Amino acid sequence: MKVLVTGATGSVGSAIVSKLVAEGHKVCGGSRHAAQPGRLPAGAEGMVLDFDQPATFGPALAGAEAVVLVAPPGDTQADVKMIPFIDLALGAGATTFVLISAMGIEFAPDSTLGKLEAYLAARAPRYTFLRPTFFMQNLSTGFFAQAFAYGGLRYNAAEGKVGFISTDDIAAVAAAALASPAHHGQAYPLTGPEALDHHQVVAAINRAAGTRFTYTPLSDAQMRQEMLATGMPAESAEFFVNLFAGVAQGHSAAVLPTVQAITGRAPISFEQFAQANAHHWQRMALAKQAAA
């Protein structure tokens, strides 16, 4: 099957591309930077795709029977931009869609991802929604990793726990969803095998990498102030304050059997993930030393 994966240079998109290539699919990876050498996992064809540039949609979709949709994170207009892309995909003959949604989206139908779910559910011949919790990769290569170059994590998450999931497990579920009609019409909440607070997460990273990072719990007001001080727009800062306040209240502590049930194997633990990714944090510890 020819599959187009959007967001293919990002945390979850690149994991999905790697998994589908390994399974023998013909994979196209779409992103604004997909044509740059080394941005995509080996074995995939890079297709320039920019949801702000509709002229890129047709060429990216050429021949795709299935589309894995990864919305640009934090873009509150992503649904408006991606719906014409979905329409074009349907018109061009794509039949199967996997949307990377988010845990709890069923309580936020007016959110970007909620609207994309509703649009696909009403029109796509086959669709599966994956609703993962926080990615482990946020802390190694993703948005939150840079905090380690400044000594560690600082959130208003208190001692709230998170069932962190590896994007490799999300990719395994995405591959299963494409492979079997049994997953069509389903929405799967996805977590890792255990819930950890951020003290435990940083301790696992320090054990694996030999580092001395810390987690500092902040009040909501401190968190807001620190995010705004980085130059972050107020709307985004408020999003993160609310996100981690929800963690503090225990909203992300669920641990679910979905990954095991769909893939037949236990999801990756944070300890395993930390061991495999120690080099990222060792590099950031060196960056901190160099800046001191």
Ligand X SMILES: NC(=O)c1ccc[n+]([C@@H]2O[C@H](COP(=O)([O-])OP(=O)(O)OC[C@H]3O[C@@H](n4cnc5c(N)ncnc54)[C@H](OP(=O)(O)O)[C@@H]3O)[C@@H](O)[C@H]2O)c1
Is 129 a binding residue for ligand X by CB under 6 A? The answer is: no
The residue sitting closest to ligand X, measured at its beta carbon, is: 10
Q: Which lies closer to ligand X via its Cβ, residue 41 or residue 217?
A: 41
Rounded (10°) CA dihedral 50, 135, 159, 236? 0
Q: Which stretch binds ligand X (CB under 6 A): 28-36, 87-95, 241-249, 255-263?
A: 28-36
Integer-rounded Cα radius of gyration of the chain: 19
Contact between 237 and 155 (Cβ < 8 Å): no
The bridge status of strand 66-70 relative to strand 152-155 is unpaired
CB atoms near residue 24 (< 10 Å): 9
CA neighbor of 5 nearest in space, from 88, 71, 91, 81: 71
Is 193 a binding residue for ligand X by CB under 6 A? The answer is: no
Is 135 a binding residue for ligand X by CB under 6 A? The answer is: yes
Is 237 a binding residue for ligand X by CB under 6 A? The answer is: no
Q: What is the DSSP code string of 143-193? A: TTGGGGGGTEEEES-TT--B--B-HHHHHHHHHHHHH-GGGTTEEEEE--S
Is 27 a binding residue for ligand X by CB under 6 A? The answer is: no
The sign of the CA dihedral 145, 149, 155, 159 is positive
Out of 3, 5, 9, 68, the residue judged to bind ligand X by CB under 6 A: 9
Q: Which stretch binds ligand X (CB under 6 A): 25-33, 57-65, 204-212, 234-242?
A: 25-33
Is 86 a binding residue for ligand X by CB under 6 A? The answer is: no
The 126-132 sheet, strands edge to edge: 45-48, 26-31, 2-6, 66-70, 96-100, 126-132, 186-190
Contact pattern from residue 45 through residue 74 relative to ligand X, giving x for each residue in contact according to CB under 6 A and a dash for the rest: ----xxxx-----------------xxxx-
Is 132 a binding residue for ligand X by CB under 6 A? The answer is: yes
To ligand X, the closest distance from the beta carbon of 142 in angstroms equals 5
To ligand X, the closest distance from the beta carbon of 39 in angstroms equals 6
Is 31 a binding residue for ligand X by CB under 6 A? The answer is: yes
Q: Which lies closer to ligand X via its Cβ, residue 187 or residue 221?
A: 187
Q: Which lies closer to ligand X via its Cβ, residue 127 or residue 134?
A: 134
- For residue 125, count CB atoms less than 10 angstroms from its CB and return exposed for 0-12, middle for 13-18, buried for 19 or more: exposed
Count of positions (residues) in the chain: 292
Q: Which lies closer to ligand X via its Cβ, residue 124 or residue 139?
A: 139
By the criterion CB under 6 A, which residues form the site for ligand X? 7-13, 31-33, 49-52, 70-73, 100, 102, 132, 134-135, 138, 142
